[in-house]
């Protein structure tokens, strides 16, 4: 059994920060001991490998609970495969993703899940699990939900947006929530009023408002807040927990805060794009704004402070990426002259841990909160803790050696995602991943990729660990 010692770093988890040496045995964390204490010296003497982490942080690998590798959308596919996307994730210090398998209308859940297994099998550099997108709630698929929960697919995304594609009406949503209340499945909601949005899209296009910035205008913040409110009340009626994905509008945060103050099991996620980008990006000239088209959309800058505050006060609990990359050339360009044809989604799986470290440097969040919102809470929310999301005896040795002082400039020229632009091009960041272990195996070693497609294992999940 291989023994690795990570020596001299500051171990940061959601719970504490301690100068400790970490012993990894057989792919798991075996023990922590005070740096250079007698036991730690003993491990070092007998280790197969000692990783020097002096001056570095030793943090749990990131858990990105919201990615869309190879997602079919708007007549094209998200440009990262499971191979390229999980490799890029590792470069950015993420060691687990939870991607979304998609049920097509008229098909069983099983068919969608099998398709996503086939896409990911033997391709991934890091471990992965699946949520299931429910596009067609009916008697059969409700029964299938029970089976999937038993198998470790314990969360189901529903859409109040995208009529005719992923959309579910309130009755279907209520039924899925009632089933989730019974079987322990967590309902994840894309909360935007898609019926109203489609009216506004039609009106905008008819009036000649075709540029990317109108994507942000028609997807009104109040239509996110209204849908968030409705989802919360439907979940309350069903007696089910609710996880609202990609929250971007301050009015939607307000609805979640209210629900949590009422004691409801309502949770919220936001994404780096809503914390660092804004409608100013959507308004960039020469169709450059298309690079920033995603849904929910980017909001005016003023919303950012509300999102940061909600992350500090735990009104929002998770930062995931909603990684859904489309190349500018040939993909985003499908929407030249009609913003509604721009495939929705931004790349980011490689950038999340660094951007959130920058938020630590900038004083938005503490170091431990960084690890909490990016590692520990997503692991708990989606039934992966304590195997993932922390550094503790028995946990998988998914560990990142992070240099908090390194300077980097984000660029498509140097990133590893399979997409021809960066949403954060030119942004200066303090902090950088140096080495990444996945179950004790190096994936990134001193800024060199040493991983392999197929190392990453499918990871069935338990149910949400936050329910009260
Ligand atoms: N939002 C996006 O931006 N892309 C894919 C699906 C979604 O809900
Ligand atoms: Zn969504
Ligand atoms: Zn998504």
Ligand nearest to the CA of 65: 3
Query: What's the average model confidence in pLDDT over 313-320?
Result: 98
The confidence score (pLDDT) of residue 445 equals: 98
Residue 22, pLDDT above cutoff 80: yes
Length of the chain: 468
Phi, psi of 355 (to 5 degrees): -60, -40
Ligand nearest to the CA of 67: 3
* Cβ of 324 below 6 Å from ligand 1: yes
Residue 1, pLDDT above cutoff 90: no
Going from the Cα of 20 to the center of ligand 3, the distance in angstroms, rounded, reads 37
Beta strand 127-133 with 3-7: parallel, antiparallel or unpaired?
A: unpaired
Side-chain-facing half-sphere of 192: CA atoms under 13 Å? 23
**What distances in angstroms separate CA 143 from CA 19, 103, 110, 176, 326, one per listed residue?**
49, 14, 11, 10, 34
Q: What's 344's DSSP letter?
A: P
- Euclidean distance between CA atoms 227 and 197, whole angstroms: 11
Strand runs (DSSP E) across 247-391, as ranges? Answer: 266-270, 318-319
Which of 294, 326, 342 should be mutated for ligand 1, with most atoms under 8 A from CB?
Answer: 294
Query: Which SS3 state, helix, strand or coil, does residue 62 take?
Result: strand
Tell me: the pLDDT tens digits for 277-306? 999 999 999 999 999 999 999 999 999 999
- Euclidean distance between CA atoms 450 and 446, whole angstroms: 10
User: Which of 367, 348, 347, 359 has its CA nearest to residue 56?
Assistant: 367
* Cβ of 154 below 6 Å from ligand 1: no
Side-chain-facing half-sphere of 120: CA atoms under 13 Å? 28
DSSP annotation string for 295-313: SSPP--THHHHHHHHHHHH
Instruction: pLDDT band for 468, please (50, 70, 90 cuts).
Output: low
Quick check: 424 and 411 in contact, CB under 8 A?
no
Structure tokens of 231? 């989802």
Tell me: the pLDDT tens digits for 394-426? 999 999 999 999 999 999 999 999 999 999 999
Ion ligand 3: residues, CB within 5 A, are 322
Tell me: the pLDDT tens digits for 209-266? 999 999 999 999 999 999 999 999 999 999 999 999 999 999 999 999 999 999 999 9
User: pTM here?
Assistant: 0.98
Q: Give the residues across from 58 on adjacent strands.
A: 11, 401
Residue 79, pLDDT above cutoff 70: yes
Question: What is the residue with the minimal CA distance to atom 8 of ligand 1?
Answer: 295
Going from the Cα of 295 to the center of ligand 1, the distance in angstroms, rounded, reads 5
* Cβ of 66 below 6 Å from ligand 1: no
Structure tokens of 270? 């936001």
* Cβ of 295 below 6 Å from ligand 1: yes
Ion ligand 2: residues, CB within 5 A, are 190
């Amino acid at each position: 059994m291989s023994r690795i010692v990570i020596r001299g770093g500051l171990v940061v988890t959601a719970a504490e920060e301690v100068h400790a040496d970490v012993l990894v045995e057989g792919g798991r964390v075996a023990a922590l001991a005070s740096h250079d204490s007698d036991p730690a010296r003993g491990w070092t003497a007998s280790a197969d490998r000692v990783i020097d982490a002096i001056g570095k942080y030793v943090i749990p690998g990131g858990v990105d609970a919201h990615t869309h590798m190879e997602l079919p959308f708007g007549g094209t596919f998200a440009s990262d495969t499971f191979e390229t996307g999980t490799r890029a994730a590792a470069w950015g210090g993420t060691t687990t993703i939870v991607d979304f398998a998609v049920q097509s209308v008229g098909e069983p859940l099983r068919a969608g899940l099998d398709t996503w297994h086939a896409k990911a099998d033997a391709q991934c550099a890091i471990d992965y699990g699946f949520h299931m997108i429910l596009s067609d709630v009916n008697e059969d698929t409700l029964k299938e939900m029970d089976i999937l929960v038993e198998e470790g697919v314990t969360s189901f995304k529903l859409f109040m947006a995208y009529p005719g594609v992923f959309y579910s009406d309130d009755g279907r949503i209520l039924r899925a929530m009632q089933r989730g209340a019974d079987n322990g499945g967590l309902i994840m909601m894309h909360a935007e009023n898609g019926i109203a949005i489609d009216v506004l899209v039609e009106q905008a296009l008819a009036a000649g408002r075709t540029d990317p910035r109108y994507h942000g205008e028609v997807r009104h913040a109040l239509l996110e807040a209204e849908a968030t409110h409705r989802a919360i009340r439907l979940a309350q009626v069903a007696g089910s927990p609710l996880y609202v994905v990609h929250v971007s509008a301050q009015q939607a945060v307000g609805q979640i805060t209210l629900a949590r103050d009422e004691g409801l099991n309502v949770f919220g996620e936001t994404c780096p794009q809503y914390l660092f980008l804004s409608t100013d990006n959507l308004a960039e000239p020469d169709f450059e704004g298309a690079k920033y088209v995603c849904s929910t959309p980017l909001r005016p800058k003023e919303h950012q402070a509300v999102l940061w505050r909600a992350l500090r006060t735990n009104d929002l609990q998770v930062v995931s990426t909603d990684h859904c990359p489309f190349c500018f050339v040939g993909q985003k360009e499908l929407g030249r002259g009609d913003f509604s044809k721009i495939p929705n989604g931004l790349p980011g799986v490689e950038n999340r841990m660094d951007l959130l470290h920058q938020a630590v440097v900038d004083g938005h969040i503490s170091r431990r909160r960084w690890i909490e919102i990016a590692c520990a809470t997503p692991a708990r929310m989606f039934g992966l803790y304590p195997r993932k999301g922390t550094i503790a005896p028995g946990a998988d040795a998914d560990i990142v050696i992070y240099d908090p002082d390194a300077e980097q400039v984000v660029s498509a020229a140097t990133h590893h995602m399979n997409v021809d632009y960066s949403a954060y091009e030119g942004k200066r960041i303090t902090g950088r991943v140096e080495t990444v272990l996945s179950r004790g195996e190096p994936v990134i070693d001193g800024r060199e990729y040493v991983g392999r497609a197929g190392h990453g294992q499918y990871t069935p999940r338990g149910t949400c660990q936050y329910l009260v």
